[in-house]
Structure 1
Amino acid sequence: MLAEYRHGLDPRVFPLGEKWILREEKSVASARRFVRDTATDWNVVAHVPEIAELLVSELVANAIAHNTAGVSRASAIRVTVGREKNLMTVDVHDSSTRIPRMRRAARLGTSGRGLGVVQALSHDWGWTLNPYGNSVWLQILAWP
Structure 2
Amino acid sequence: MGRQAGAGAVTDGRVPGVERYGQPPVQWRRHVRGADLAAVAEVRRALRELLRHWGEPVAADVAELLTSELLTNALIHTEHGAVLTVTLTPAAVRVEVRDFAPALPTPHAPTDDDGTHGRGLVLVQALADAWGVLAHGVGKVVWFELSGGAPAA
Structure 1 gaps, min length 5? 68-72
TM-score, normalised with respect to structure 2: 0.77
Regions of 4+ moved over 4 Å: none
Structure with greater strand percent: 1
Indicate the structure (1 or 2) with the bigger Cα radius of gyration: 2
- The residue aligned with 2:84 is 79
- The residue aligned with 1:65 is 76
Whether contact under 8 Å (1:21, 1:27) holds in the other structure is yes
RMSD over equivalenced CA pairs, Å:
2.3
3-state SS in 1 of match to 2:111? coil
- The residue aligned with 1:29 is 41
Whether contact under 8 Å (2:108, 2:118) holds in the other structure is yes
Structure with greater helix percent: 2
Q: Note the C-alpha offset of 1:44.
A: 2.3
Whether contact under 8 Å (1:31, 1:60) holds in the other structure is no
- The residue aligned with 2:125 is 119
Structure 2 gaps, min length 5? 17-24
- The residue aligned with 2:106 is 101
Against the structure 1 CA distance between its residues 127 and 141, is the aligned structure 2 distance closer, same or farther, given a 3 Å change threshold? same
3-state SS in 1 of match to 2:112? coil
TM-score, normalised with respect to structure 1: 0.81
3-state SS in 2 of match to 1:105? coil
Q: Which amino acid aligns with 1:61?
A: T
Structure-1 separation of matches of 2:90 and 2:103: 30
Q: Which amino acid aligns with 1:104?
A: A
Q: Note the C-alpha offset of 1:25.
A: 1.6
Identity %, equivalent residues: 26
